[in-house]
Amino acid sequence: MRKYLYIYKSELMSQLQYLFNLVFGFIGCGIILFIFFNLWHYIYSDSSQIINGYSVDQMIWYVIITEIIWGACMGRTLCRKISNDVRGGNIAYNINKPYNYIGYSLASHLGTATVKGIIYTVLALILGLVMMGNFPTTNVLELVLVLISSILAVVISSLFTIFIGLFSFFIEDSSPFYWLYSKFILVIGVIFPIEYFPNVVQPFLKFSPIYVVSYGPAKLFVNFNINDCISIFVAQFIYILVAYLLCSLVYKKGVRRLNVNGG
């Protein structure tokens, strides 16, 4: 475990030099949040109106949290890196190293994600405070739980991305699959809470990755509820386990294929 911590730390330190770029890069994200601020204020007739269980401020905070998590995941970069490792033969060098490739990729990616996550969190929370004038919750325990759940969301999303990136063992280009995944999360999971969808699809969404990588932490932040909290954490742990097992399985199969083909 210590070596993964070390990989994580060195990646984090090297990312610090790009601090300025990250702050600047937040502008794009800030614009989206600003657009949603306007959009939801147009749709909600006044601040007391509740639609599908959410007030207008809650809807905007919801988008803020999901955008932070999505921004910190940087899935496209990770997916491209994994694909390049696989296709460029870099992975062959990793086979006989004393660490697990998936653990290595995850640790180094989380190092990058941490820096971006912190910057985005600080800036997005400031922006939210400016737009709404208050936080949905100031309970420290609740905030800590939201934070943990958000971190788990980033871990799960990264594992899924690694899983998709590893498809490159079997097909030439895995990016269309990543694209499908990102569209699914972005269009359905980032903008609207699950309650906004028709009753028929809601149960499906609750079992889908959306529940653990975007809906969960955002829901807890805007409207904390201990029952939701427990089920979200349970779901997140199950998902981590499943995602990790899927990664290992694909990796093992892929490496075996690599050996057969002679790299």
Is 24 or 99 the residue whose CB approaches other proteins more closely?
A: 24
Buried b (16+ CB within 10 A) or exposed e, 140-177: eebeebbeebbbbbbbbbbbbbbbbbbbbbeeeebbeb
Q: Among candidates 8, 122, 10, 23, which has minimal Cα distance to 68?
A: 122
The length of the chain in residues reads: 263
- Residue 64 CB, nearest approach to other proteins (Å): 16
Cα–Cα distance measured from residue 153 to residue 212, given in angstroms and rounded to the nearest whole number: 6
- Residue 210 CB, nearest approach to other proteins (Å): 13
- Residue 161 CB, nearest approach to other proteins (Å): 18
DSSP 205-243: HHHSHHIIIIIHHHHHHHS--HHHHHHHHHHHHHHHHHH
Is 5 or 23 the residue whose CB approaches other proteins more closely?
A: 23
Residue ranges that bind other proteins, judged by CB under 8 A: 16-17, 19-21, 24-25, 27-28, 31-32, 35, 38-39, 41-43, 51, 173, 176, 179, 183, 187-188, 191-192, 196-197
Cα–Cα distance measured from residue 178 to residue 19, given in angstroms and rounded to the nearest whole number: 27
3-state secondary structure of 96: coil
- Residue 63 CB, nearest approach to other proteins (Å): 12
Is 24 or 204 the residue whose CB approaches other proteins more closely?
A: 24
Is 107 or 188 the residue whose CB approaches other proteins more closely?
A: 188
Is 39 or 143 the residue whose CB approaches other proteins more closely?
A: 39
- Residue 72 CB, nearest approach to other proteins (Å): 19
